[in-house]
Amino acid sequence: MSSDRSDEFARALLRPDLPAPDGLVASRRPSDANPLDQRLAVYRNTVVASLVDTLEGRFPITCRILGRDFFRAAGCAFAMAHPPRSKVLMAYGDGLPAFLAGLDQMSRAPFVPDVARLEAAIGRALHAADADPVGIAALAALPDEALNDAQLVLHPSVELVASHYPIATIRERETRGEGGPKIDMAQGEDVMVLRPQLDIVTCRLPAGAHPFIEALLGQAPLARAAEAGAAREGFDLPANLAALFEAGAVVDVIPADRPT
Amino acid sequence: MPRDTGPRPYSVPLAPGVGLKACHIRDIEADPGAVQFLEIHAENYMGAGGRPHHDLMRLRERFPLSLHGVALSIGGADPIDREHLARLRTLRDRYEPGLFSEHLAWSSHEDVYFPDLLPVAYDDETLDRVCDHVDATQDAVGMQMLLENPSTYLAFEHSTMAEIDFMAEVSRRTGCGLLLDINNVFVSCANHGEDPVTYLDAFPLAAVGEIHLGGHEAQQDDVGRPLLIDTHSRAVIDPVWRLYARAIERGGPRPTLVEWDKDIPAWPVLAAEAARAEAVLTGRADQADVV
């Protein structure tokens, strides 16, 4: 097929309003009168349905909250507007949370795009590179004077998601599919997502932990990361360090004199 | 280099295999039944780490592997995607598959990926391009590839050759083998009003390195003609089993994969399909088993 012909075919795949491209016939039999549009629709449907299936697989809780019909309709609109640029579909849908946030209907459920951001982060963490966490002994082994300049290397799967809504609590509740006490929707949650071994861990972060971990992700030395955390009231460095190692989020401790 | 010796089995045997699904892993490890190799969709293992690789590494110690790409776009008008070839090469080095296959189809155009196997015109221009792409693929991945016949729902006015002649010529020029998907033969022939037995008998079986079997959905189009859709969502139907038995009788046994990718059944259902393929392969199936 020439480049012009594939231009036309490719355009028609995501635009059901366009007529079938020139040069196509419904079958290899010249006299065949099978309706061409119906044949083309098989390809159109497969392309879009595969993309929407991919999104549904990656955003199961978002789908449950919005209802499957609404989610698939929104997913379909997203897929037609933002088809994948990569052949590796496990990364498809990073743009869905922002797309959902732009929909008028979200004014009634403004927390949903943030839940989708959390699920997007979980999807990335699932396929991030493997690395073995180290215990807090790796930090304790350093002489006191080396602590300030030491660098904590975080697991490649670590991501932060901050929200004005209790996104981790909402996700857990929906995952279990159970009722429970009313969730305080005004209680925002900062969440760390990671996959220290094979399973995803989500941690609700205490005050100051988000800027602290963000600084560590930016390869700041420990003292500077601690300053970033301490800019928030109530930041507790020892507790944050203990929790970070406990979660399996640290894979190496690099003293300042060891090249990175 | 891949090896035939050592603890990791390399060669895919002339026996049944299944497409690997995460939900079947425990069952396969407990009792694989007739299954003697596993096939994976390459693109599902192109993440850096995590459970898919962890599970596959363990299974790979026990089963030979067939690496089946679904996204390379060998029939596309765009230049072949070198990054994607590098990803395939990484998988080949990591898992040492005994077989590697891709489709006679396109799925990318100007950097947009369409997750489907889209049809190509069978003309000289496309033939040259497909041969170039197959050459580049075999060079980059470092092993022979098998080219699979597609399910099609449309054809091109300007096609000048039959699908089989097109595939045979690609195989002749590039040295690639062919993957004969018998369900695709049945689906395409029904959609194009052709006879699948005639198609099968004309297929160059000597070049076939693997056979695929799968299920499809049957619809009718608006003028009442059959419109079969290759969904891999159900059991292989009896007419496809009969075509399969005919192919084995004429060409001899081949590694045979049962594909089931949607509405995935409990393991015993898929294991029974593999057992049925084994009966055909070993000549134990009498007509009653197959029909």
* A257 in any annotated domain: yes
CB A127 to CB B50 under 8 A? yes
Query: Do A93 and A134 belong together in one domain?
Result: no
- Asked whether the ipTM of the predicted complex exceeds the cut of 0.90, the reply is yes
Query: Do A92 and A157 belong together in one domain?
Result: no
Query: Residue B91 is inside which H or E element, if any?
Result: helix B82-95
Nearest-by-CA chain A residue for B120: A1
Give me the number of domains chain A comprises. 2
Domain boundaries B16-290, CATH class: alpha beta
Distance between alpha carbon B215 and the CA centroid of its chain, in Å? 13
pLDDT of B288:
46
Q: What is the mean pLDDT of residues B229-240?
A: 97
pLDDT of B234:
97
* A142 in any annotated domain: yes
Which residues of A are less than 8 Å from B229 in CB distance?
A: 42
Query: Do A99 and A135 belong together in one domain?
Result: no
Query: Do A55 and A179 belong together in one domain?
Result: no
Which residues of B are less than 8 Å from A7 in CB distance?
A: 109-110
Query: Do A141 and A98 belong together in one domain?
Result: no
Task: Please give the single-letter amino acid code of residue B44.
Answer: N
In the predicted model, residues of chain A with pLDDT beneath 50 are none
pLDDT of B8:
79
- Interface contact B4, partner A, CB < 8 A: no
* A124 in any annotated domain: no
Q: Which of residues 182-201 of A touch B (CB under 8 A)?
A: 195, 198
* A84 in any annotated domain: yes
- Look up tokens 């395939």; give the residue: B88
CB B118 to CB A25 under 8 A? no
Query: Do A4 and A87 belong together in one domain?
Result: yes
Give the whole-angstrom CA distance, residue A108 versus residue B177: 56
**HSE, side-chain direction, 13 A CA sphere, residue A110:** 7
**Nearest CB partner across the interface for A13, out of B111, B114, B125:** B114
Domain boundaries, chain B: 16-290
Nearest-by-CA chain B residue for A34: B223
Which pairing describes strands B99-103 and B146-148: parallel, antiparallel, or unpaired? parallel
Query: Do A141 and A100 belong together in one domain?
Result: no
Closest C-alpha to A152, from A171, A175, A131, A168: A131
Closest C-alpha to B131, from B159, B172, B86, B93: B172
A141: domain range?
130-260
Q: What is the mean pLDDT of residues B247-255?
A: 97
Give the whole-angstrom CA distance, residue B202 versus residue B214: 21
For B141, the token pair is 């991945």
**Nearest CB partner across the interface for B118, out of A34, A39, A43:** A43
* A233 in any annotated domain: yes
Query: Do A149 and A221 belong together in one domain?
Result: yes
pLDDT of A231:
96
- Interface contact A83, partner B, CB < 8 A: yes
Tens digit of each residue's pLDDT (9 = 90 or more) over B32-76? 999 999 999 999 999 999 999 999 999 999 999 999 999 999 999
Residue B4 pLDDT more than 60? no
Q: Which of residues 219-238 of B touch A (CB under 8 A)?
A: 221-223, 225, 227, 229
Task: Please give the single-letter amino acid code of residue B182.
Answer: I
Phi-psi region of A88 (alpha: psi -120 to 50; beta: other; left: phi over 0): beta
CB B125 to CB A13 under 8 A? no
* A254 in any annotated domain: yes
Residues in chain A: 260
pLDDT of B17:
98
Identify the residue with better confidence: B256 or A19.
Answer: B256
